[in-house]
Amino acid sequence: MRLPDVLFDWLHTATSQMRWKRAQPVAEKELRAHIEDQYEAFMDEGMDQAAAAKATAREMGDPVETGTRLDRVWRPRPDWLMLGMVLVIAAAGLILQYRFRWSNDVEWYMLLGKYVSGVACLLIAYFADYTLLGRHIVPLLGVWFAGWLALHWPLRNGMPNGISGIMGWMWLFPVVFAGLIYRLRGKGTEGLGICLTAVFGMALCGYGTFRTGAEAAMMAVCGIQLVVAVRSGLFGKRRKWWYLLAALPLAQQLYFCIHIGWFVSRWPDDPIWSDYTDKLVRAALYGADGGAFTSTLVYDRATDYLLVSAKVEWGWTAFILILGVLAALLLRGWWMLRSQSGVLVRLVSAAVLLTLFAQMITYTTQNLGIAIAANHGLPLLSYGGTYLCQTMFLLGVLLSAQRTGGLEPGTAPVKEADINA
Amino acid sequence: MNIDKSLLAGNTALLVLRLLREDDLYGYQMIERLREKSDDTFSLKAGTLYPLLHTLETQGLVQSYEQAADGGRIRKYYHLTDAGRARLAEKTEEWRAFSGAVDRVLGGGESHAFA
């Protein structure tokens, strides 16, 4: 409907009072709908267009006053507590890495440089528009795959940091996957099938690259995302057999755990096999001897086995305290997610939290001497460089979604009966 | 009768929450329904309503969603959350206590004022 000039001017005057530019189109859309309804009501009463337009403008009130009031309530909502927690925990992680560093060549300013890089990645994601994940998912998937290809080459050619670079990139997939689920909402079995294809495609990328538990953990994360999406009716009225499809990635993770458990239990007691490392870890944790762990795994104390190092140095309290701090961060993130009503913001936030939770679990099991290779760090704490940048980027996405998620309309409340087929 | 706006200002949220208890509504519907239920006593302006709705939403008392209205146009509906229902009950109780006290003072005031 084309509005008369007087009403168009009213709308423009009102919304131009709002300083947050991203909120202007949201407020304008709602006000415009109201103006159209009021204008049509006056026309239905018998007024001509000019009279109806003037009456509508009068009924709407003063546009400057309206816009000023809207400006006061439409503001970004940064979560300063979460931001502070992230920065403090990351700083604590670098202090721990310096404490357990394997060489005196690892200087404090090198670690500070990594921290600054991580903060830069966080800020880039924080000020970016998370809704890009919903609006441009196809090119973003292409970028993700192109990135994997580009990073795959250094890894295959034995270049330094090859594994950490590609691992960090792979762990961005669940967030991109959230955008894919959002894009395919309402598409039924076809949508679910495309999502599953993407997940198994990612698993092939991972399996072809490093064959560890990492891609299985990622599949578990994606599986949970799919099951929750089916449960919420995102793909449409749910069918019971959709749960079986959505749970396939989870089944793969379970198979992997059983397979590794059976396979590794038969490895010989040989330093070459990782089970030997797990035996060292268990001796350090549950036995009296942390010396063998400290002298043998000197390169990995600050990175792959930070929790064990903390236990050997300070006892179980330190082990639990470190995990407790991370758990508090994830709980805060969960609280942020619950306060949002938009579909995309909830999907993206859940993807970030599930990713960090999965990393925390697999890292902890590795540090408890259970034979599941993590090949990634403990979020924010155990690695600097590429891995810290990846984690900070993800947290930046979470904070960005929280800051601007109010712009996204929520979903209509549904009853269970309405979404069951 | 013209009502002093300040009497309405502090209770607009209560009225909006009460409207939403019955049904999910969009902004124009709320203004029309409020006018109808109050016999044209309350005529809320859009400039008052929409900032209030956004505030209530950030407080978690209402939740918005977009849906096609009658005629097929997309409108932004508002739904009362559980927290909103609890706040409505609390504010209703508060209003009843306040208005009851005012009624008692006004009702028994004249015979005692110049005693």
C-alpha A202/C-alpha A285 separation (Å) is: 35
* pLDDT tens digit sequence for A363-384: 998 888 875 566 678 999 987 6
ipTM of the complex: 0.87
* pLDDT tens digit sequence for A40-91: 999 999 999 999 999 999 999 999 999 999 999 999 989 999 999 999 999 9
Q: What is the pTM of this model?
A: 0.86
C-alpha A307/C-alpha A96 separation (Å) is: 10
Q: The tokens of A204 are what?
A: 């092939």
Smallest Cβ distance to A65: which of B47, B73, B76? B47
Instruction: Name which of A302, A260, A287, A281 is nearest A114 in CA terms.
Output: A302
CB atoms within 10 A of CB A300: 17
Between strands B25-26 and B74-80, the pairing is antiparallel
How far A57 CA sits from the closest chain B CA (Å)? 10
How far A222 CA sits from the closest chain B CA (Å)? 27
Distinct helix (H) and strand (E) counts, chain B: 6, 3
C-alpha A214/C-alpha A373 separation (Å) is: 7
Q: The tokens of A366 are what?
A: 């590795």
> Residue B25 gets which letter from DSSP?
E
pLDDT of amino acid B84: 95
C-alpha B23/C-alpha A127 separation (Å) is: 38
pLDDT of chain A, 421 residues: tens digit per residue: 788 999 999 999 999 999 999 999 999 999 999 999 999 999 999 999 999 999 999 999 999 999 999 999 999 989 999 999 999 999 999 888 888 876 666 678 888 898 999 999 999 999 999 999 999 999 999 999 998 888 876 666 665 556 667 778 889 999 999 999 999 998 999 999 999 999 988 888 877 665 556 777 888 999 999 999 999 889 988 888 999 999 999 888 887 777 766 665 555 555 555 556 777 777 777 776 666 666 666 667 778 888 988 988 898 999 999 999 999 999 999 999 988 888 999 999 999 999 999 999 989 988 888 755 666 789 999 876 788 999 999 999 999 999 998 888 887 776 666 666 6
Nearest chain B alpha carbon to A15: B47
Smallest Cβ distance to B79: which of A36, A77, A413? A413
Nearest chain B alpha carbon to A77: B58
B84-90's contacts with Cβ under 8 Å and 24+ in sequence apart are B84/B17, B84/B20, B84/B56, B84/B60, B85/B21, B87/B17, B87/B61, B88/B14, B88/B17, B88/B18, B88/B21
For residue B68, which residues of chain A lie inside 8 Å, CB to CB?
A: none
Which helix (H) or strand (E) segment holds residue B26: the answer is strand B25-26
Smallest Cβ distance to B28: which of A38, A63, A73? A38
Which helix (H) or strand (E) segment holds residue A81: the answer is helix A80-99
Phi-psi category of B42—alpha, beta or left, where left has phi over 0 and alpha has psi -120 to 50?
beta
Contact yes or no for A27 and B50 at CB 8 A: yes
C-alpha A335/C-alpha A315 separation (Å) is: 31
Phi, psi of B63 (to 5 degrees): -135, 135
C-alpha B46/C-alpha B64 separation (Å) is: 17
pLDDT of amino acid A81: 95
pLDDT of amino acid A291: 67
Nearest chain A alpha carbon to B57: A406
* pLDDT tens digit sequence for A83-118: 999 999 999 998 888 888 766 666 788 888 989 999
Which helix (H) or strand (E) segment holds residue A361: the answer is helix A343-367
Smallest Cβ distance to A412: which of B50, B51, B67? B67
Q: Is B64 on the interface with A (CB under 8 A)?
A: yes
The DSSP string of B53-85 is HHHHHHTTSEEEEEEE-TTS-EEEEEEE-HHHH
Q: Is B12 on the interface with A (CB under 8 A)?
A: no
| Ranges in chain B, pLDDT < 70 | 1-9, 108-115
How far A128 CA sits from the closest chain B CA (Å)? 22
Instruction: Name which of A34, A402, A83 is nearest B58 in CA terms.
Output: A402
